[in-house]
Structure 1
Amino acid sequence: MHSFIGDPIVVVVHLAVPPDKVWLALTSPDEIKRWYFDLPGFTAATGYQFSFEGGSDPAHPYIHRCEIVDVSPQSVLSYTWRYEGYPGETLVTFKLKPENSGTVVTLTHEGLASLPASNPDFARSNFEAGWNSIVGTSLPKYFGVAVAD
């Protein structure tokens, strides 16, 4: 396993949804595209590779290249994340923890310091805003629930 440099980004949300439903949202291609990115054929299996396009300029999207490195059903989904044509590799991890009748979802993105500091698109603040929007807003909205305190 790699050692990733730099302080990780961590986003935590408490959802009034059981872990099995959150796991389905993280691993089913039909569900993933409703709150995250369209990942046709996505399979939650170690070694599975996937890619998607994203970025602030639709005319010049970044190609994200990812490979799943850890899967523990209804508990952990972790994958490497890099950009085609750029140095650096990061690690994205979703951890699910049952709590009462809901789930605590913790997203961690490590290794951002390995990305080119000269590219403003790779600024930490952009990743923080992106993950807060995806995990803090889009995921709860997908379930039709407010984020619990």
Structure 2
Amino acid sequence: MKAVALQLEAELDGSLAECWEVLTTSRHLAVWFGPHLTLDARVGGQVEEHWAKGSRKMVTSGIITAFEPPRLLSMTWADSDWPDQTQVTIELEPARTGTILSLTHAGWERLVGLDYELLSAEHEAGWNSHIGSLLLYIKGFRSNLDQRRALIRDPLP
């Protein structure tokens, strides 16, 4: 069985610290990922996403295996009906004009008995959608920070 890993990358319009905060803080996650996701941001912390597949309620869960602010977040990831876990790793690196986010979702070949190629394709679409939401949210988050800083520098009369 050949190893299958999704690898996605995006340039975020924010500093490393801002992007890490938006990626790992519940109040931000609830907006750009959705309120159906909980993340206990620490090694050994739980990740849980409640969602529906048609009329069937699903739970995706995992454990954080690496947490190295502000650059690395790695966790196990499995739907409640999977026979094994996959691994999601998110890395942040400063770039000249923002921050590069690299997401790797690996371990699909461990899902013996399931169509792991179809599952990985479905998750690629899902991750791309979430990254798109993250890009828009960070742009707005950054804009709000800039507006607050301007008010502090030049308070209204």
TM-score (norm 2): 0.78
Question: Which 4+ stretches in 1 moved above 3 angstroms?
Answer: 116-122
Superposition pairs of residues 86-97 of structure 1, within 5 angstroms = 86-97=82-93
Is 1:79–1:92's contact at 8 Å kept on the other side of the alignment? yes
**Richer in helix (by share):** 2
Q: What amino acid does structure 2 have at the position aligned with 1:47?
A: G
Query: Which has the bigger relative contact order, CA under 8 A and spacing at least 6?
Result: 1
Q: Secondary structure at the match of 2:130?
A: helix
Is 1:28 aligned to 2:25, yes or no?
yes
Q: What amino acid does structure 1 have at the position aligned with 2:11?
A: H
Of 99, 102, 110, 2:98 maps to 102
Q: 1:82 to 1:46 in 2, by over 3 A?
A: same
Over aligned residues, Cα RMSD in angstroms? Answer: 2.1
1:10 is aligned to 7
Is 1:139 aligned to 2:134, yes or no?
yes
Q: What amino acid does structure 2 have at the position aligned with 1:73?
A: P
Of 123, 127, 141, 2:123 maps to 127
Unaligned 5+ residue runs, structure 1? Answer: none
The one-character-per-residue Cα deviations of 1:69-100 (angstroms, maximum 9, x if unpaired) are: 00110100010011224201100111000011
Q: 1:37 to 1:111 in 2, by over 3 A?
A: farther
Is 2:109–2:116's contact at 8 Å kept on the other side of the alignment? no
Q: Secondary structure at the match of 1:61?
A: strand
Q: 1:63 to 1:21 in 2, by over 3 A?
A: same
Unaligned 5+ residue runs, structure 2? Answer: 141-157
Q: Secondary structure at the match of 1:98?
A: strand
| Bigger Cα Rg | 2
Structure 1 CA distance for aligned equivalents of residues 117 and 30 of structure 2: 23
Is 1:77–1:95's contact at 8 Å kept on the other side of the alignment? yes
Is 1:43 aligned to 2:40, yes or no?
yes
Is 2:13–2:135's contact at 8 Å kept on the other side of the alignment? no
1:66 is aligned to 62
Tell me how many residue pairs correspond in the alignment: 138
TM-score (norm 1): 0.82
